[in-house]
Amino acid sequence: QQIKGVFSGVAFSRDPITRQGDAVVIEALPGDASQVVSGRLTPEQYRVFVPTDGVEFPVHGNQTAKWRIPEDQSFPVDVLGMDGEGNIPPRLIQHVAYLVRHIEDRYHGIPQDMEWSYDGHSLWVLQSRPITTLLPIWTRKIAAEVIPGYIRPLTWSINQPLTCGVWGEIFSVVLGSSAEQFDFQQTATLHHSVAYFNASLLGQIFRQMGLPSESLEFLTRGAKFKRPSLASTLKQIPGLWRLLRREWVLVKAFERDRHQHLEPGLVALSHQSSDTRLNTLTDHELGDRIDQILALLQRATYYNILAPLSLALRQGILKPNLTLMDQSQLPEVASLKIIQAIANQIHLLLSPSAQVQENNASLSWDQVIAHLQQSPDGLAILEQLDQFLDTYGYLSQVATDIAVPTWRDDPRPVHNLLLQSLNNMAATTPQANPPSQAQPLATPRKTWKEKAVQRRINLKGQVAQIYDQLLAELRWTVLALEQRWLNRNCLQQRDDIFFLTLDEIQTEIRRESELYGSSFDQTGQSDEGVESLRSSWGDRIQQRRSQWQQHQTHGSPPYLVYGNDPIQGIVAAPKGLQERQHYQGIGASPGQVVGSIVVIETLQSYATLEPGTILVVPYTDAGWAPLLTQASGIITEVGGCLSHGAIVAREYSIPAVMNVANSTQFFKNGQVVHLDGGTGRIAILRDEFKPTR
State pLDDT tens for residues 127-137.
Answer: 999 999 899 99
The beta strands (E) that lie in 326-400 are given as none
CA angle 637, 641, 647 (to 5 degrees): 95
Is 255 inside a domain boundary?
Answer: no
At residue 671, the pLDDT reads 92
Are the C-beta atoms of 165 and 415 separated by less than 8 Å? no
In sequence order, which ranges of 209-282 are alpha helices (DSSP H)?
215-221, 230-235, 237-248, 250-257, 263-273
Is 113 inside a domain boundary?
Answer: yes
- Looking at 438, 472, 500, the residue that finishes a domain is 438
pLDDT higher than 70, residue 26:
yes
pLDDT higher at 404 or 426:
404
Q: Which helix (H) or strand (E) holds 45?
A: strand 44-49
pLDDT higher than 50, residue 430:
no
* pLDDT tens profile 575-616: 544 456 788 888 989 999 999 999 998 776 555 788 889 999
- Looking at 111, 135, 159, the residue that finishes a domain is 135
Percentages (nearest 5) of helix, strand, coil residues in the chain: 50, 15, 35
- Looking at 391, 406, 438, the residue that finishes a domain is 438
Q: Please provide the DSSP assignment of 143-168 as one string.
A: HHHHS-SPPPHHHHHHHHHHHHHHHH
Residues sharing a CB contact under 8 Å with residue 113, sequence separation 6 or more, in sequence order: 10, 11, 12, 13, 128, 129, 130, 131
Q: Which of 228-237, 283-292, 662-671 has the highest mean pLDDT?
A: 283-292
- Per the document, the length of the chain is 693
CB environment 255-270: b (16+ within 10 A), e (fewer): eebbeeebeebbeebe
Domain of residue 47, CATH code: 3.30.470.20
At residue 372, the pLDDT reads 92
* pLDDT tens profile 642-660: 788 888 888 888 999 998 8
Q: How many domains does the chain have?
A: 3
Are the C-beta atoms of 422 and 346 separated by less than 8 Å? yes
pLDDT higher than 70, residue 683:
yes
Domain of residue 664, CATH code: 3.50.30.10
Integer Cα distance of 101 and 23 in angstroms? 10
**Type of residue numbered 333:** V
Region of poorest pLDDT, from 91-105, 182-196, 405-419, 441-455: 441-455
**What's the whole-number mean pLDDT along residues 131-145?**
87
**What's the whole-number mean pLDDT along residues 629-635?**
91
Integer Cα distance of 314 and 38 in angstroms? 56
Beta bridge partners of 159: none
pLDDT higher than 60, residue 442:
no
Is 12 inside a domain boundary?
Answer: yes
Half-sphere exposure in the Cβ direction for 458 (13 Å, CA): 14
Is 606 inside a domain boundary?
Answer: yes
Are the C-beta atoms of 347 and 422 separated by less than 8 Å? yes
Return phi, psi of residue 128, to 5°.
Answer: -145, 135
Is 552 inside a domain boundary?
Answer: no
Is 669 inside a domain boundary?
Answer: yes
At residue 578, the pLDDT reads 47
Q: Which helix (H) or strand (E) holds 117?
A: strand 112-118
**Residue 663, domain extent:** 580-686
Is 87 inside a domain boundary?
Answer: yes
Is 403 inside a domain boundary?
Answer: yes
At residue 691, the pLDDT reads 44
**What's the whole-number mean pLDDT along residues 85-107?**
88
The answer to whether the Cα torsion of 174, 180, 185, 187 is positive or negative is negative
Among 481, 471, 467, smallest CA distance to 278 is for: 481
**What's the whole-number mean pLDDT along residues 200-222?**
79
Q: Please provide the DSSP assignment of 351-386 as one string.
A: -GGGSPPTT-----HHHHHHHHTTSHHHHHHHHHHH
Integer Cα distance of 613 and 631 in angstroms? 5
Rounded to a whole number of angstroms, the distance between the first and last alpha carbons of the chain is 70
Residues sharing a CB contact under 8 Å with residue 171, sequence separation 6 or more, in sequence order: 179, 182, 184, 205, 209
**Type of residue numbered 406:** T
Integer Cα distance of 586 and 659 in angstroms? 6
Among 643, 649, 677, smallest CA distance to 145 is for: 643
**Type of residue numbered 154:** L
Cis peptide before 611 (omega within 30 of 0): no
At residue 692, the pLDDT reads 40
Beta bridge partners of 22: none
Radius of gyration of the chain (CA): 28
Integer Cα distance of 630 and 645 in angstroms? 12
At residue 56, the pLDDT reads 62
Region of poorest pLDDT, from 420-434, 488-502, 511-525: 420-434
Return phi, psi of residue 609, to 5°.
Answer: -85, 135
